[in-house]
Amino acid sequence: MTEQLSGILLLGGTLFILLSAVGILKMPDLYTRMSATTKASTLGIGLVLAGTAIYWQDFGIASRAIAIIVFLLLTAPVAAHIIGRAAYFDRVPLWEKTTIDELRGAVEKEDDGEEFEK
């Protein structure tokens, strides 16, 4: 029974990682690509690690897998946010069909053309 559960988790994880790769290719701009890859790959890697921990049924492997999953859940969204914010302030263009820009107005130009943050 554990082999089937492990296999299902591994297969689900690899499908989410594949979905993440497709997101890189198909999404129209940096921000949507980053959103798709961060969410899908974090879930995919978590499922693969959970499947591995269930398959081996060893405390050492399970504790490492849990530590890696927690580390990914804490760092991946923060890193994506920082990269996206830096890209926005470097004026990486949004997709032309983007309707909501919540950071508009946070970047202003001074008289000499330099950008600064409020």
Q: What is the pLDDT along the chain (118 residues), one digit of tens a residue?
A: 999 999 999 999 999 999 999 999 999 999 999 998 999 999 999 999 999 999 999 999 999 999 999 999 999 999 999 999 899 888 888 988 988 887 777 765 533 455 545 4
With beta carbons less than 8 A apart as the criterion, state whether 10 and 47 touch: yes
Quickly list DSSP for 31-62.
HHHHHHHHHHHHHHHHHHHHHHHHHH--HHHH
In the numeric block, which tokens belong to residue 107?
A: 């970047």
Backbone angles phi, psi at 88, to 5 degrees: -65, -45
